Structure 1
């Protein structure tokens, strides 16, 4: 639903973006990324994730504590010649906490936002996720304008603290 506010169109959203959940960085060799992010910057490795389907071998790092923690995912492709190319661009995507992911995806789709194939699914950290496509098309012209954006279902503690 659109409403006017002093000549500027704004949208009434049925969901909230609560904060940054992650920043994903790709490279040809994640050991080089680990040298910087773990050894130099002091981030802690929390877990690893590997998916042939998504062509990714990644380590999940963390900075901050509790609901204010932010993941830094360092990723390398399993096969650099295949897609998706998680190492191009180097800043692969940002993840945003969403209070109601299913409602957000439904509403954003109605607005004409383009999503990547795959729909809502479990992400590397175990939360439900989906991705907004960095480029629009004729059917879904709205996009994140060159940056892949991951929408992440916020767990209850994050919703309570940041909502």
Structure 2
């Protein structure tokens, strides 16, 4: 399959999300020891998460590192059950990506395209395939994130591709 037939581009890593039972322990490593900047917090009963949003880098090349703990360890989703909870990828055209991938058998997690914790439109590829959708993350939850225009432009300049 040629790249020109794909109606979207994966530009780069937008985030990684790390889960644990105690985000203060995660902060000790990522903020105190490694020096990541704490940018904000996000709490959601529906998503059973209390997270700190940290960052590496700056501008359009900034990568979020989300440090997550469950609000209730007995409820789903269990954001702490896998230490590497998910990887987020910048996408230049999220609706086109979703349509194209779904038409080719990629399984998405429930919820569709919606606004994520950082304010960008997001959706998730399911970690497990099924009979109806035989392509999935092979055990990894993958977040697709709509890149804002400045990120699309910066990555395009970096790659020498048209924006």
Give TM-score scaled by structure 2 length: 0.93
Shift of 1:12: 2.5
Structure 1 gaps, min length 5: 4-9
Q: 1-side partners of 2:4 and 2:81: how far apart?
A: 33
Q: Partner of 1:94 in structure 2?
A: 87
1:157 aligned to which of 114, 136, 150: 150
Q: Partner of 1:122 in structure 2?
A: 115
| Structure 2 counterpart SS, 1:150 | strand
Q: Partner of 1:25 in structure 2?
A: 18
Q: Partner of 1:104 in structure 2?
A: 97
Q: 2-side partners of 1:18 and 1:11: how far apart?
A: 15
Superposition misfits of 4+ residues, deviation over 3 angstroms: none
Bigger fraction of residues in strand: 1
Shift of 1:11: 8.3
Q: 2-side partners of 1:105 and 1:87: how far apart?
A: 27
Q: Partner of 1:56 in structure 2?
A: 49
Q: Deviations over 1:2-52 (max 9, x none)?
A: 56xxxxxx8831100000000000000000001111100010100100000
2:59 aligned to which of 56, 59, 66: 66
Q: 2-side partners of 1:59 and 1:37: how far apart?
A: 11
